[in-house]
């Protein structure tokens, strides 16, 4: 079972604690077996009427009990530490690995799936490694030792008393196997419920605006219904199995009482031995149950482990080539040579036969319809994906020969809906350069036309922006993202312009900010508005994944029919333009 063996490997860093935990369990187990035997002896003493050793036996039982208690507390503390340690290591490892994977991996993964591996599966593994293994060891050995002790005292009675053990273990294992997935499904559905509630509340503006409370309620009711159904499945399982697991040993107790009692009456067995058997059976109840549950746990952990290894074994596909170093010196000269790129699983290429030469320091606007390949093209510059054919070069170096970290430090992206982390405004601006001083952060914000509104926030630069920066307006978020790019001081800048979301004066401010950012570096602007094209030195027209035309505004007006059409009628994807560009803007292109 390779998965199982690999799982055990996670215990390696915790070996001393695992050994200590097993040793503590073994001694505690010895006490567990000793107590019924001592009890039997004490009862024999009482029965014989002289009771000379009664005090000593009583004290010995007391000491064994206290020892067992102390050892169990210690063992639980040590095992708990191991379990949490394994959890921490694993979390770190999974997260570390996920971040090392290329963007393409995430394109094809459901976030929920990854999350469930990082939480539910990880819990199953850590619980088994931390507790389950020791439980199996402890319970198994307790049962074996008790069985040996019982066989020595009275073989026939031992066999009778031990009959329920395999059944209880098997049934408990079966319960463990069935109950855990049912419980996990409950968890999963509760997670869906939370997501549904979150969406309704997060999207409350849309819900209210369209007066669709009824629809949201209906959906929510369906989700709560699903939780109820799954919880009922789990409840039915426990309603049946739990009493059954308790019932079988009671049958055993009845049989022991019946047969053992008769043997004591007939004088074939001492009352002490009988009492010892009785106590053994009572004391074995917990280990029997525990062994079964832990075996179920082992099965779950192996299944969860396999799911975790699927992620951990997925090799990153975009890595630094051996000996890859920094980008050569330069001012951001970008060349694409016969580039063809297809997304994994896509029916056709998103880009094909793209050849481009953009001199360092120039600003180019990428123009084209939705889905024509603009975003894909700029993603290739930072090597977020690897091309299948051709090459992408920055300042003469093929991006595949450069250390990806160095490459990405030289390229900054301002997205059309910028992502801000739930941190302070200053931390968000300094994301690429956490060591930047407050003066640097402020300077970048000023140049990005963001200082004034930041200064008006309740705590200025120390205001925390919520998840995804939702407490800021679209235009504000964009300017914070521009400041972030400015502070990174990249050689190549990519701007996914989405100024259509903001009003004219904010747009003007953003434009001014962009002017600041673009100075002295190569800039690619994905232009969604004609007015944005005016910021560019050159224009690249893209259609169906290939470059249709490349030149200055005047050249393209001459050479490209599509470009002329764009200038006359607006961008193909801008049918929803709220404000037609003024003649002056178009004329000023
Ligand atoms: N992660 C992806 N996986 C598979 N296909 C993708 C992926 N991203 C984009 N595509 C496809 O590649 C093509 C080019 O998309 P791209 O995002 O580059 O277009 P775009 O010109 O930037 O469009 P827009 O102006 O709408 O942003 C589209 O057909 C799109 O469906």
pLDDT, tens digit, 9 for 90 and up, residues 16-51: 998 998 899 888 888 888 888 898 888 888 888 877
Q: Pick from 237, 263, 75, 76: which is nearest to 157 by CA?
A: 263
Which atom of ligand 1 sits closest to the CA of residue 343?
Answer: 4
CA 395, CA 331: separation in Å to the nearest integer? 7
| CA proximity to 135, closest of 95, 79, 214 | 79
Q: Is 346 a pocket residue for ligand 1 (Cβ < 6 Å)?
A: yes
Residue with tokens 């301002």: 414
Cβ-based neighbour number of residue 329 at 10 Å: 8
Question: What per-residue confidence (pLDDT) applies to 52?
Answer: 80
Ligand 1 atom showing the smallest separation from residue 103 Cα: 1
Identify the top-confidence range among 150-164, 186-200, 371-385. 371-385
Q: How many Å lie between the centroid of ligand 1 and the Cα of residue 242?
A: 54
* CA 36/CA 146 separation, integer angstroms: 9
Q: Is 201 exposed, middle or buried (0-12, 13-18, 19+ CB in 10 A)?
A: exposed
> Which of the four CATH numbers 3.30.1740.10, 1.20.1560.10, 3.40.50.1360, 1.10.150.120 does domain 2-186+236-312 have?
1.20.1560.10
Atom 16 (ligand 1) nearest CA: 373
Average pLDDT over residues 552-572: 80
Cα–Cα distance measured from residue 323 to residue 428, given in angstroms and rounded to the nearest whole number: 32
Hey, where are the domains in the chain? 2-186+236-312, 321-410+491-500+521-589, 418-489
pLDDT band for position 585 (50/70/90)?
A: very low
Examine the pLDDT at 357 and tell me if it is beyond 50. yes
pLDDT category at 469 given cuts 50, 70, 90 is low
pLDDT value for 578? 36
Expressed in angstroms and rounded, the spacing between residue 341 Cα and the centre of ligand 1 is 11
In this predicted structure, what is the pLDDT of residue 562?
82
The string of pLDDT tens digits covering residues 121-165 is 888 888 888 878 878 888 888 888 888 888 888 888 888 878 888
Q: Which residue among 343, 352, 562 has the greatest number of ligand 1 atoms within 8 angstroms of its CB, and so is best to mutate?
A: 343
Place of tokens 């770190």: 92
Residue 210 tokens read as: 């369209």
Range name among 63-67, 73-77, 471-475 with the lowest pLDDT average: 471-475
Strand partners, 357: 335
Report the pLDDT value the prediction gives residue 499, as an integer from 0 to 100: 58
At residue 582, the pLDDT reads 43
Residue nearest atom 25 in ligand 1 by C-alpha distance? 370
Distance CA 363, CA 520 (A): 10
Give, for ligand 1, the residue of 102, 344, 376 to mutate: max count of ligand atoms closer than 8 Å to Cβ: 376
Collect all residues with Cβ–Cβ distance below 8 Å to 175 and sequence separation of at least 6. Answer: 237, 238, 241, 242, 245, 292, 293, 296
Task: Check if 368 has its Cβ closer than 6 Å to any atom of ligand 1.
Answer: yes
Question: How many A from CA of 373 to the centre of ligand 1?
Answer: 6
φ, ψ at 395 (rounded to 5°): 45, 45
Unique residue bearing structure tokens 């700029």: 378
Closest to 538 (Cα-Cα) out of 526, 548, 553: 553
- Indicate whether 581 pLDDT > 70: no
Average pLDDT over every residue of 482-489: 89
Mutation test residue for ligand 1: of 373, 388, 500, 570, the one with most atoms within 8 Å of CB = 373
Say if residue 468's pLDDT is above 70.
Answer: no
CB-CB contact of 421 with 139 (8 Å): no
Query: Which atom of ligand 1 is nearest the CA belonging to 496?
Result: 27
Answer whether residue 580 shows pLDDT above 80.
no
Kindly compute the dihedral angle of the four CA atoms of residues 545, 546, 550, 556, in this order, to the nearest 10 degrees: -80
- Centre of ligand 1 to C-alpha 366, Å, is 14
CA-nearest residue, atom 4 of ligand 1: 343
Lowest-pLDDT choice from 66-75, 117-126, 205-214, 305-314: 117-126
Contact between residue 466 and residue 526 where contact means Cβ atoms under 8 Å apart: no
The alpha carbon of 90 and the centre of ligand 1 are apart by a number of angstroms equal to 35
Q: Alpha carbon of 119 to those of 90, 92, 308: distances in Å?
A: 10, 12, 10
- Do the domains spanning 321-410+491-500+521-589 and 418-489 agree at the CATH topology level? yes
| Of 40, 283, 239, residue with least CA distance to 154 | 40
Which helix (DSSP H) or strand (DSSP E) does residue 113 occupy? helix 111-116
User: What pLDDT, on a 0 to 100 scale, did the predictor assign at position 502?
Assistant: 58
Q: What is the CATH code of the structural domain delimited by 321-410+491-500+521-589?
A: 3.40.50.300
Task: Give, in degrees to the nearest 5, the angle at Cα 582 between 580 and 586.
Answer: 105
Query: Smallest Cα–Cα separation from 444: which of 412, 472, 405?
Result: 412
Rounded Cα distance, 177 and 180, in Å? 6
Distance CA 278, CA 37 (A): 10
Q: 3-state SS of 41-77?
A: HHHHHHHHCCCCCHHHHHHHHHHHHHHHHHHHHHHHH
Please report the atom of ligand 1 found closest to the CA of residue 416.
27
Mean pLDDT of 178-206: 77
Nearest CA to 358 out of 539, 94, 564, 213 is that of 539
Q: How confident is the model at residue 506 (pLDDT cuts 50, 70, 90)?
A: low
Query: Is any atom of ligand 1 closer than 6 Å to the C-beta of 372?
Result: yes
Q: Give the model's pLDDT for residue 441.
A: 94
Q: Is 107 in the pocket of ligand 1 (CB under 6 A)?
A: yes
Helices (H) and strands (E) in the chain, counts: 23, 10
State whether CATH 3.50.50.60 applies to domain 418-489.
no
Q: What mean pLDDT is predicted for residues 451-473?
A: 83
- The region, left, alpha or beta by phi > 0 then psi within -120 to 50, assigned to residue 523 is beta
376 lines ligand 1 (CB under 6 A): yes
Please give the Cα distance from 446 to 487 (Å, whole number): 11
Q: Percent of the chain at pLDDT above 70?
A: 92
pLDDT confidence bin for 97, thresholds 50/70/90: very high
| Angle at the Cα of 375 from the Cα atoms of 371 and 379, rounded to 5 degrees | 140
pLDDT of residue 112: 64
Q: Buried b vs exposed e over 243-254: b needs ≥16 C-beta within 10 Å? A: eebeebbeebbe
pTM to 2 decimals?
0.73
Q: Is the CB of 375 under 6 A from ligand 1?
A: yes
Measured between alpha carbons, how far is 127 from 129 in angstroms, rounded to an integer?
A: 6
Span 243-248, mean pLDDT? 81
Phi and psi angles of residue 140, each rounded to the nearest 5 degrees, phi first: -60, -50
Q: What DSSP element (H or E) covers 550?
A: strand 546-551
Instruction: Name beta bridge partners: 525.
Output: 365, 495
Separation between Cα atoms, residue 471 and residue 464, nearest integer Å: 9
Nearest ligand 1 atom to the CA of 376 is 18
Residues 41, 61 contacting (CB under 8 angstroms): no
pLDDT attached to residue 584: 41
Beta bridge partners of residue 569, listed in sequence order? none
Query: Which among 372, 548, 562, 570 is the best mutation to test ligand 1's pocket, defined by most ligand atoms within 8 Å of the CB?
Result: 372
> Does the pLDDT at position 221 exceed 60?
yes
Instruction: List, in sequence order, every residue forming a beta bridge with 413; answer none if it has no partner.
Output: 494
Report whether residue 352 contacts ligand 1, using a CB cutoff of 6 Å. Answer: no
Q: In what order do the strands lie in the sheet with 389-394?
A: 351-358, 334-341, 389-394, 397-398
Residues 79, 130 contacting (CB under 8 angstroms)? yes
Most confident among 9-13, 240-244, 277-281, 495-499 (mean pLDDT): 9-13
Report whether residue 373 contacts ligand 1, using a CB cutoff of 6 Å: yes
How far lies 38's CA from each of 111, 118, 217, 270, in Å?
Answer: 58, 48, 64, 14
- Cα 404 from Cα 380, distance rounded (Å): 12
CA distance 267 to 35: 24
Interval between CA 571 and ligand 1 midpoint (Å): 17
């Amino acid at each position: 079972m390779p998965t199982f063996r690999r799982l055990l490997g996670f215990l390696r860093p915790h070996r001393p604690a695992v050994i200590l935990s097993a040793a503590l369990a073994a001694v505690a187990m010895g006490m567990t077996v000793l107590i019924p035997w001592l009890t039997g002896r004490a009862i024999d003493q009482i029965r014989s009427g002289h009771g000379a050793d009664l005090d000593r036996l009583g004290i010995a039982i007391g000491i064994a009990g206290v020892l067992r208690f102390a050892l169990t507390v210690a063992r639980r503390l040590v095992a708990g530490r191991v379990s949490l340690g394994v959890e921490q290591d694993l979390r770190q490892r999974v997260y570390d690995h996920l971040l090392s994977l290329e963007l393409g991996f995430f394109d094809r993964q459901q976030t929920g799936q990854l999350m469930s591996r990082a939480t539910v599966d990880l819990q199953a593994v850590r619980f088994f490694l931390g507790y389950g293994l020791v439980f199996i060891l402890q319970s198994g050995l307790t049962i074996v030792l008790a069985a040996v002790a019982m066989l020595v005292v009275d073989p026939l009675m031992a066999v009778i008393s031990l009959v329920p053990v395999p059944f209880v273990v098997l049934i408990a294992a079966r319960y463990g196997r069935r109950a855990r997935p049912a419980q996990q499904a409950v968890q999963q559905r509760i997670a869906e419920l939370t997501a549904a509630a979150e969406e309704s509340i997060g999207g409350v503006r849309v819900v209210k605006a369209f007066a669709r409370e009824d629809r949201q309620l209906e959906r929510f009711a369906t989700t709560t219904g699903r939780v109820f159904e799954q919880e009922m499945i789990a409840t039915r399982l426990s309603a049946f199995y739990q009493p059954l697991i308790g019932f079988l040993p009671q049958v055993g107790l009845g049989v022991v009482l019946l047969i053992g009692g008769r043997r004591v009456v007939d004088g074939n067995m001492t009352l002490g031995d009988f009492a010892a058997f009785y106590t053994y059976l009572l004391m074995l109840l917990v280990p029997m149950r525990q062994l079964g549950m832990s075996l179920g746990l082992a099965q779950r952990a192996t299944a969860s482990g396999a799911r975790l290894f699927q992620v951990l074994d997925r090799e990153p596909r975009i890595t630094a080539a051996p000996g890859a170093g920094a980008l050569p010196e330069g001012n951001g000269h970008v060349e694409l040579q016969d580039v063809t790129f297809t997304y994994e699983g896509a029916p056709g290429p998103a880009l094909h036969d793209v050849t481009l030469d953009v001199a360092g320091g120039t600003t180019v606007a990428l123009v084209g319809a939705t889905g024509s390949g603009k975003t894909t093209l700029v993603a290739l510059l930072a090597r977020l994906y690897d091309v299948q054919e051709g090459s992408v070069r920055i300042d003469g170096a093929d991006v595949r020969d450069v250390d990806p970290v160095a490459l990405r430090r030289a390229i900054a992206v301002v997205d059309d809906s910028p992502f801000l982390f739930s941190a302070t405004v200053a931390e968000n601006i300094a994301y690429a350069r956490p060591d930047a001083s407050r003066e640097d952060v402020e300077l970048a914000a000023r140049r990005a036309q963001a200082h004034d509104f930041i200064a008006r926030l309740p705590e200025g630069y120390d205001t925390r922006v919520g998840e995804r920066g939702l407490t800021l307006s679209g235009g504000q978020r964009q300017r914070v993202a521009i400041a972030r790019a400015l502070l990174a001081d990249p050689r190549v800048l990519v701007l996914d312009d989405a100024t259509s979301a903001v009003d004219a004066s904010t747009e003007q401010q953003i434009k001014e900010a962009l002017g600041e950012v673009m100075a002295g570096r190569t800039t690619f602007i994905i232009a969604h508005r004609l007015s944005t094209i005016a910021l560019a030195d050159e224009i690249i027209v893209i259609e169906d994944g290939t470059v249709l035309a490349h030149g200055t505004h005047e050249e393209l007006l001459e050479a490209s029919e599509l470009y002329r059409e764009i200038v006359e009628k607006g961008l193909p994807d801008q049918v929803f333009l709220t404000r037609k560009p003024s003649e002056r803007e178009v004329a000023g292109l």
